[in-house]
Amino acid sequence: METNYIIASFVLVPLIGFLASLLIAEKNESVISKIAFYTIGVQLFTAFIFIIYWLLTGMQSINIKEVTIFQSKEYEFLVDFYFDKVTAVYIFIGAFLTFLIIRYSSFYLHMESGYKRFFNTILFFFLGYNLTVLSGNFETLFIGWELLGISSFLLIAFYKDRYLPVRNAVKVFSIYRIGDVGILLAMWASHHLWHENITFSKLTNYDLVHHLLMDHSGTGLFISVCLMIAAAAKSAQFPFSSWLPRAMEGPTPSSAIFYGSLSVHFGVFLLLRTHPFWEHQIVAKVLIVLGGIITATIGFFISRVQSTIKTQIAYASISQIGIMFIEVALGFETLALFHFAGNAFLRTYQLLVSPSVVSYLIRDQFYHFQPTHSTVENTLPKRIQYSIYLLSLKEWYLDTLINKFVFGPIKKIGHKLDFITYKNVLFYLVPSYLFGLLLYYFEESIPDIIRYNLPGTFSFIGLILVFKSFSERKYPRLAWLLVAMNHLWIALAVSFNEHFDFSHTLLYLSGVIPSVLVGLFCLEKLRRMEKGNFDMNQYYGHGYQYPKLALVFLISALALMGFPITLTFIGEDLIFSHIQEHQYLLAFFNSLSFVLGGIALIRIYARLFLGPHVKTNHPTPLKSS
């Protein structure tokens, strides 16, 4: 029982520290830094003592069913904690490095206008970090995964009155959310494979996993590929590598803790945690190894030609993580853990000393420059050398690749839907939805062939609305309402499946409707105060003038996108548990709707409230240096 309390404290201590830091005034820098310092210090000391005790008592894996948040006859949403060697390494390294960063930041950010906001976000990140590391099932992991995503966005956009940090924060968040499609689909397929919310401790049962995969090899491969996509997006592996250097726009301490040491290694953590599930699937292992080789190779070449030290460190770290992917796929789990620890410490050190190292290297190069006589590249033919050099300068067109094949098509589809206006929503979409409700209440009289296709059709309509919201740049309220209507269409689509009754719909919509109304209130109030600066063609920075309104809108946007643990979040998981095993299109449409809807909402927030303030009656930063 004492063990359960100690493991639970790894989540409760950061939560208490985060809540306490919110209550302190901005001007009390010493109190804010001390709360963070002692919170992480207590966590580090507790983790160190507990890990020693755990090692001495035989290193037995511990699984704790902590809290059941929602339960029905067919479904249970529970928070489950799991502790093994992977958890031990990640939780100690995370606490130790965060402790160093907190101490460093208390001096580095002294007199910075966002001092309190930085420490609030770091503690929030640390809460998400521990929740992810201790997660014992996919639901708990996804809660921490989402906390990490939003804290990443907030830290990259720390200098929220500048153009590039805000733009890059939205870009990184967008790629994070695209990776979330993999997690959502893996969770959905796992529900049907195991017929329960499977815990990670059960995945270590070889006989159980092997027996199921023998009968459902296709489903097993589908889950493995989805997990690989989520891990690649989180760890900036090919083809998602371009986001990591863009994430370095935040303060140096956040770059060190997030993108040098901890957050960027969560793709490796996901593969380690699910390794017993996919370790005997040859196709999955080959795909992971290939992805790791490609990333390590291009990351090495790109890092060699970078002109900024942060970007050079970022691509060097990507290369090492690619090698970790290979190690995990080949079964060298312990080696991957050692590699993680070494890379995390090295990149943290490099990033923290990077400001002073730059000046030192410039001076050293000026007085002691010696040309390199031979390099690896010199052994290659000149044409290949120049080709690799130019490709590396262009970062192998990874950014262009993502824009062309992921975001570009979505925007093109959205622009073709410009006929969706307020008027057409009222005259066509609302009556169509009411007609769908009528079909639901007379479901028994509908021919089977039509009833079979209705869920996918309604879900596709919801996805089309999200595409339009994603590309909308003129009317923020229309973009907001389209995301809200998407939730209504999804609820209607899944209502045609068995066991999804009206109480489930109410639970889901009870999280959606209040957040929609609050967001609309904020947008309407902003529109009245800023009539000429109320669209999404640029970043207006209204958060400078209306910080409280910006905070309320951000909270409502997070609630609408299904931020943990809101009723919308629980409703989304409940919806996926009722999508049937053969409804792959329905699952894909819904997961893509949730993900793109979240990106669309964050874009509304960023373009209206972040960036250089449109009013120039006060000092404003340049768009770019």
Q: What is the mean pLDDT of residues 204-233?
A: 86
Residue found by looking up tokens 């940090």 in the block = 165
Chain centroid to CA 510: how far? 24
Identity of the amino acid at 421: T
Q: What is the C-alpha R_g of the chain?
A: 25
When the pLDDT of each residue in the chain is averaged and rounded to a whole number, the result is: 87
Q: Which residue has the higher pLDDT, 443 or 469?
A: 469
Q: Would the pLDDT of 1 be above 60?
A: no
Per the CB < 8 A criterion, the answer to whether 510 and 467 are in contact is no
Model pLDDT, residue 75 = 65
- Answer yes or no: are the C-beta atoms of 127 and 11 closer than 8 Å: yes
E-assigned strand segments in 432-489: none
| Lowest mean pLDDT segment, chosen from 495-499, 568-572, 582-586 | 495-499
Domain ranges of the chain: 2-364, 416-609
| pLDDT, tens only, 352-378 | 887 777 667 666 666 676 766 677 677
Cβ-Cβ contacts under 8 Å for 590 (sequence gap 6 or more): 184, 459, 462, 490, 493, 494, 575, 576, 579
Cβ within 8 Å of residue 170, ≥6 positions away: 153, 157, 599, 602, 603, 606
Which residue, 202, 186, 196, is CA-closest to 142? 186
Helix intervals (H) in 134-216: 138-156, 163-194, 200-203, 206-215
Q: What is the tens place of the pLDDT at every residue in 18-39?
A: 999 999 988 888 899 999 999 9
DSSP 83: E
Report residue 311's pLDDT band, with 50, 70 and 90 as the boundaries.
confident
For the record, the structure tokens of 41 come out as: 């210090």
Assess whether pLDDT exceeds 80 at residue 259. Answer: no
Q: Report DSSP state, residue 404.
A: I
Convert the pLDDT of each residue in 592-604 to its tens digit. 999 999 999 999 9
Percent of all residues in the chain with a pLDDT value above 70, rounded to a whole number: 94
Mean pLDDT computed over 267-292 = 92
The rounded distance, in Å, linking the Cα atoms of 622 and 625 is: 7
257-281 residues labelled b (16+ CB within 10 A) or e (exposed): bbbbbbbbbbbbbbbbbbbbbbbeb
**In whole angstroms, what is the distance from residue 568 CA to residue 221 CA?**
29
Output the pLDDT for position 269: 94
pLDDT in tens, 604-619: 999 999 988 888 777 7
Q: How far apart are CA 279 and CA 272, in angstroms?
A: 10
Neighbours of 17 (CB within 10 A): 23
| Burial degree of 384 (CB within 10 A; 0-12, 13-18, 19+) | exposed
Which pLDDT score, from 0 to 100, does residue 122 have?
92
Q: How confident is the model at residue 107 (pLDDT cuts 50, 70, 90)?
A: confident
- The answer to whether residues 598 and 95 touch, using CB atoms and an 8 Å cutoff, is no
Kindly report which listed range (380-384, 467-471, 485-489) carries the lowest average pLDDT score.
380-384
Distance between CA atoms of 445 and 549, rounded to whole angstroms? 49
Q: Quick one: which of 300, 304, 316 has its CA closest to 260? A: 316
Higher pLDDT, residue 69 or 59: 59
**Phi-psi sector, 612: left (phi>0), alpha (psi -120 to 50), beta:** beta
Cα–Cα distance measured from residue 468 to residue 420, given in angstroms and rounded to the nearest whole number: 8
Helix (H) or strand (E) holding 253: helix 252-254
Rounded (5°) CA angle 452-453-454 = 100
- Give CA separation, 286 vs 121, 193, 295, 387, 600, in Å: 38, 23, 14, 28, 35
pLDDT surpassing 80 at residue 295: yes
Return the higher-pLDDT residue of 508 and 337: 337
Instruction: Tell me the pTM.
Output: 0.92
Could you report the per-residue pLDDT of 317-351, keeping only the tens digit for each? 999 999 999 999 999 999 999 999 999 999 888 88
Lowest mean pLDDT among 97-111, 151-165, 519-533, 560-574: 560-574
Nearest one of 513, 509, 456, 506 to 480, comparing CA atoms: 513
Share of the chain above pLDDT 90, in %: 38
Please state, in angstroms and rounded to a whole number, the distance separating the CA atoms of residues 561 and 31. 33
Residue whose pair of structure tokens reads 């910006």 in the numeric block: 550
User: Given the structure tokens 């890379």, which residue do they identify?
Assistant: 343
Residues 6+ apart with CB under 8 A from 618: 544
Return the residue matching tokens 């986001």. 243
Angle between helices 29-56 and 85-108 (to 10 degrees): 160
- Count CB neighbours of 149 within 10 A: 22
Contact status, residue 247 vs residue 168, Cβ threshold 8 Å: yes
The reported pLDDT for the residue numbered 97 is 93
Evaluate if residue 495 carries a pLDDT over 80. Answer: yes
With cut-offs at 50, 70 and 90, classify the pLDDT of residue 73: low
How many angstroms separate the most distant Cα atoms in the chain?
A: 87
Whole-angstrom distance, CA of residue 394 vs CA of residue 396? 5
The per-residue pLDDT for 498 is 66
* Element of type H or E holding 64: strand 62-71
Whether the CB-CB separation of 94 and 130 falls below 8 Å is answered with yes
Between 4 and 132, where is the model more confident? Answer: 132
Amino acid at position 602, single letter = I
Tokens encoding 528: 């009245």
Q: Which pLDDT belongs to residue 91?
A: 94
DSSP letters, 131-149, are: HHHTB-BHHHHHHHHHHHH
Q: What is the pLDDT of residue 131?
A: 93
pLDDT of residue 248: 81
